[in-house]
Amino acid sequence: MKPRPATILAELIERTKVAAHELDNAVARRFERMLITVAGGDASMMESTLSLSVIDGLLVSCVR
């Protein structure tokens, strides 16, 4: 085994925080688009194009 740097755990935690923040922002943008669509009075279109999928244990909204 190769020796690991002493900061490996801190770096992993920081990368995980950044990835989680980016995922949160992406989901927030999707929900904002959904709300704009509903506010525009086109709820039937949203229902037909909205699907839910599970990615890595997270429930994520996917708009096609």
pLDDT tens-digit readout, 5-34: 889 999 999 999 999 999 999 999 999 888
pLDDT tens-digit readout, 34-63: 888 877 755 554 444 444 444 444 554 444
At residue 63, the pLDDT reads: 47
Percent with pLDDT over 70 in the chain: 62
At residue 18, the pLDDT reads: 96
At residue 35, the pLDDT reads: 85
Of the candidates 5, 63, 56, 15, the one whose C-alpha atom is nearest the C-alpha of residue 37 is 63
The set of residues, in sequence order, having a beta carbon less than 8 Å from that of 34 and lying 6+ positions away, is 46, 50, 61, 63
3-state secondary structure of 38: helix
